[in-house]
Amino acid sequence: MNEKQMTAPDSHYEQMIAEESVCTTENIVYEKPHTLTDTPFHYCPGCGHGVAHRLIAEVIEEMDIQEETIGVAPVGCSVFAYNYLNIDMSEAAHGRASAVATGIKRVLPEKYVFSYQGDGDLAAIGTAETIHTCNRGENILIIFINNGIYGMTGGQMAPTTLPNMKSTTSPFGRDTNSMGYPLKITELIAALPGTYYVTRQSVHKPLNVRKAKKAILNGFQYQKLNRGTCFVEIVSNCPSNWKMTPVESNKWLEDNMLPFYQLGDIKVPKEEIK
């Protein structure tokens, strides 16, 4: 109202003021989903967990299944996932998230149940639970965050650590002769008849974020079909323990992680193949 009375230094500035602000509710094209709580993430700057959490929240919100969804948090960096997702959640013992999710889904078969697990949780201590949950074809979604390292305990070698990759317990690089090879558990479980949808995505670039969201959406939607386990691996970063800036870590991810852990669908429902 008093805009007219202001003295504009030049005509361009005057024009800007005259224009109405773009930042109005009806112009919102992207905002934090409400299914994410307002609690700030405890994750390190640049960590992919935050994006993965947000995508889960977006999918739950878009499908309008907040009242129907139960999540299972792992042990690892994402142990506090339940602080951020405004849904009913259960915190599992290390490696047992898919067993806990099995227990929930078996007694509440109508609900959407997912587990959220890191590479140590899912592919080391919880290997048996992961394989047998997938082999039974439990109708749950397993979201697997693979950053090739143990984050919470401070950067130790994970089952998914790349050959020659340094960690605090492979300080000279992972020697495959004595430390074994990185485990492609996603390919492993894709071979099981119990899995219905298996895919590997990442969240390091905008396009990948969109694809990862679609994969998570598929994982939730397929649960209604009762055809088996859905498994979404997200190749992620760990700037703190890779000892890089977030931007460098995403570059490293692209140059080193992705050639080994190739992105894309590994197993898609037969009906989808045309």
Partner 1 sequence: MKELKLMKGNEALAEAAIRAGCDGYFGYPITPQSEVLEYLSREATARTGMVVLQAESEVASINMVYGAAGTGKKIMTSSSSPGVSLMQEGISYIACAELPCLLVNVNRGGPGLGTIQPSQGDYFQSVKGGGHGDYKLIVLAPSTVQEMSDFVKLSFELAFKYRNPVMILTDGALGQMMEKVELFPQQPRTNEIYPWATTGKKHERERSIITSLHIQPDKMEEINIHLQEKYRTIEKNEVRFEEVDCEDADFIILGYGLVARICQKAAQLAREKGYKVGVLRPITLFPYPTDVIRAYSEKVKGMMVVEMNAGQMVEDVRLSVEGRTTVDFYGRMGGIVPTPEEILEAFENKVLGRK
Partner 2 sequence: MAKVKGDIIIDIEKCKGCELCVEACSQDSLTTSKKVNSKGYLYIVKIEDNCTGCTNCALVCPEGAITVYRKTANRKEQIAKITNVTKDMTITVNE
Of 87, 209, 230, 235, the one binding partner 2 (CB under 8 A) is 209
Which region among 47-55, 95-103, 187-195, 238-246 touches partner 1 (by CB under 8 A)? 95-103
Question: Which does residue 36 touch among partner 2, partner 1, none (CB within 5 to 8 A, set by kind)?
Answer: partner 2
Q: How large is the C-alpha radius of gyration of the chain?
A: 21
243 binds partner 2 (CB under 8 A): no
17 contacts partner 2 (rule: CB under 8 A): no
- Give residues with Cβ within 8 angstroms of 35, minimum separation 6: 57, 58, 60, 61, 66, 85, 86, 87
Q: What are phi and psi of 264, to 5 degrees?
A: 130, 170
Do 207 and 174 touch, CB atoms closer than 8 A?
A: no
Here's the x/- map for partner 1, 112-151, by CB under 8 A: it reads as ----------------xx--x-------------------
Of the candidates 229, 71, 50, the residue with the CA atom closest to the CA atom of residue 145: 50
φ and ψ of 116, to 5 deg: -125, 115
Q: How far is the CB of 69 from partner 1 (least distance, A)?
A: 6
Residue of 130, 204, 215, 253 interacting with partner 2 (CB under 8 A): 204
Per rule CB under 8 A, is residue 61 in the interface with partner 1?
Answer: no
- Residue 257 as a binder of partner 2 (CB under 8 A): the answer is no
Q: Are strands 264-267 and 156-157 parallel, antiparallel or unpaired?
A: unpaired
Q: How far is the CB of 51 from partner 2 (least distance, A)?
A: 5
Q: Does 104 bind partner 1 (CB under 8 A)?
A: yes
Return the residue matching tokens 């599992």: 92
Cβ of residue 67: shortest distance to partner 1, in angstroms? 5
Q: Which residues, other chains included, contact 106 with Cβ-Cβ below 8 Å and sequence gap of 6+?
A: 138
The kind and range of the H/E element at 157 are strand 156-157
Point out which residues bind partner 2 (CB under 8 A).
16, 21-24, 27-33, 36, 40-41, 43-51, 54, 203-206, 209-210, 239, 245-247, 250
